[in-house]
């Protein structure tokens, strides 16, 4: 199944009370003409409005605006398989899926579902991970809970809720902190769940082919007043990589530091390859894809971003230097 025929999936995450459910309810009730299947991956937390979804072990409900709502407690692969079966049989129709994780969840295992199960990975395309961040309480949550930090670290896009409850200076400080933790995710405000759907669906934030452009100004060192567990660093080089050496080094590092590596992503200049290589990974799984050819006269370079927990930055950078041709 080619990518254009695959069903795009958005993972919606965010800490308890950040406003995920408000956003979801808006998507479920609004007359947007899109057929969306929403999966509540929850563990006893209050989920989508109870009038929409009575609690049950598992159920699939069709909404009047063409949306479908499911709850799953436990195996996500099973419910995705069930939805696929019903869709293929013509029993239900949907064009895309949104998975809401529980507020205390690390979104990593949900994302990994799409790479570990061949049938699911061939049918559904992971579009992006959206993280809703509560502007009023985020600083404290990021200080206290590593799950809140992981949710920011995994994000392809950060939606900032409750900005009306804090002043501009607080929003600016929080945005700077989020950028330090995850320089690759654009930050957008979202008020009471109202955000244009085109800003959260079909953004291909997770796609290997989405050519990565990193804004170098993102990483200008802002005065550090937080020692966050989740941090990011960038490796840049104007020299080409030796492919074998790089693969060997990264495989070794992933064996040791994989559990602490949330996301890593880059654009690589490989010796002898006329095209750029787009590389990315989640925890222990990494993959590369050919990007567009280097243009004539274009300055070739490599840029790699690593986001993770207490990573040995010097070790990574020294090792990557050794892999240059």
Q: If you average pLDDT over every residue of the chain, what do you get? A: 79
CATH code of 3-199, in short, is: 3.40.50.300
Architecture of the domain defined by 216-322:
2-Layer Sandwich (3.30)
In this prediction the pTM is 0.69
Q: At 209, is the pLDDT very low, low, confident or very high (cuts 50, 70, 90)?
A: very low
pLDDT at res. 239 = 95
**Residue 96 — φ and ψ, nearest 5°?**
-155, 165
Q: At 245, is the pLDDT very low, low, confident or very high (cuts 50, 70, 90)?
A: very high
CA distances from 266 to 50, 177, 216, 218 (A): 42, 22, 13, 15
pLDDT at 54 over 50: no
pLDDT at 258 over 90: no
- The residue whose two tokens read 């986001």 is 307
Give me the residue spans of the domains in the chain: 3-199, 216-322
What percent of the chain clears pLDDT 90, i.e. is strictly above it?
A: 23
Helix ranges restricted to H, 158-312: 168-181, 243-257
Q: At 51, is the pLDDT very low, low, confident or very high (cuts 50, 70, 90)?
A: very low
DSSP letter string, 243-263: HHHHHHHHHHHHHHHGGGEEE
What percent of the chain clears pLDDT 70, i.e. is strictly above it?
A: 80
pLDDT at 211 over 90: no
More confident residue, 74 or 200: 200
pLDDT at res. 308 = 84
């Amino acid at each position: 199944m080619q990518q254009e025929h695959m069903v795009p999936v958005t993972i919606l995450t965010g800490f308890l009370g950040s406003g995920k459910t408000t956003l979801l309810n808006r998507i479920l009730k609004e007359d947007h003409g899109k057929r969306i299947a929403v999966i509540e991956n929850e563990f006893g937390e209050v989920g989508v409005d109870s009038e929409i979804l009575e609690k049950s072990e598992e159920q699939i409900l069709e909404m009047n605006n063409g949306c479908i709502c499911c709850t799953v407690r436990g195996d996500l692969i099973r419910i995705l398989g069930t939805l696929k079966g019903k869709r293929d049989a013509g029993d239900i129709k949907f064009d895309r899926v949104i998975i809401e994780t529980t507020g205390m969840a690390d979104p990593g295992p949900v994302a990994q579902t799409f790479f570990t199960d061949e049938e699911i990975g061939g049918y559904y395309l992971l579009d992006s991970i959206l993280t809703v961040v509560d502007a009023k309480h985020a600083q404290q949550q990021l200080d206290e809970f590593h799950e809140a930090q992981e949710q920011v670290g995994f994000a392809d896009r950060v939606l900032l809720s409750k900005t009306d409850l804090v002043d501009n200076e607080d929003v600016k400080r929080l945005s700077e902190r989020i950028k330090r933790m995850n320089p690759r995710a654009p930050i957008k405000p979202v008020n009471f769940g109202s955000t244009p759907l085109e800003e959260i669906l079909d953004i291909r934030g997770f796609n290997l082919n989405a050519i990565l452009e990193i804004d170098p100004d993102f990483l200008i060192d802002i005065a550090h007043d937080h020692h966050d567990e989740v941090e990011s660093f960038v490796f840049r080089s104007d020299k080409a990589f030796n492919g074998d050496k790089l693969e060997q080094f990264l495989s070794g590092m992933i064996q040791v530091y994989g559990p602490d590596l949330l996301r890593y992503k880059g654009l690589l200049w490989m010796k002898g390859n006329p095209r750029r290589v787009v590389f990315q990974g989640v925890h222990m799984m990494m993959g590369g894809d050919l990007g567009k050819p280097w243009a004539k006269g274009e300055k070739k370079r490599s840029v790699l971003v690593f986001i993770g927990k207490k990573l040995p930055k010097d070790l990574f950078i020294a090792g990557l230097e050794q892999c240059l041709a």
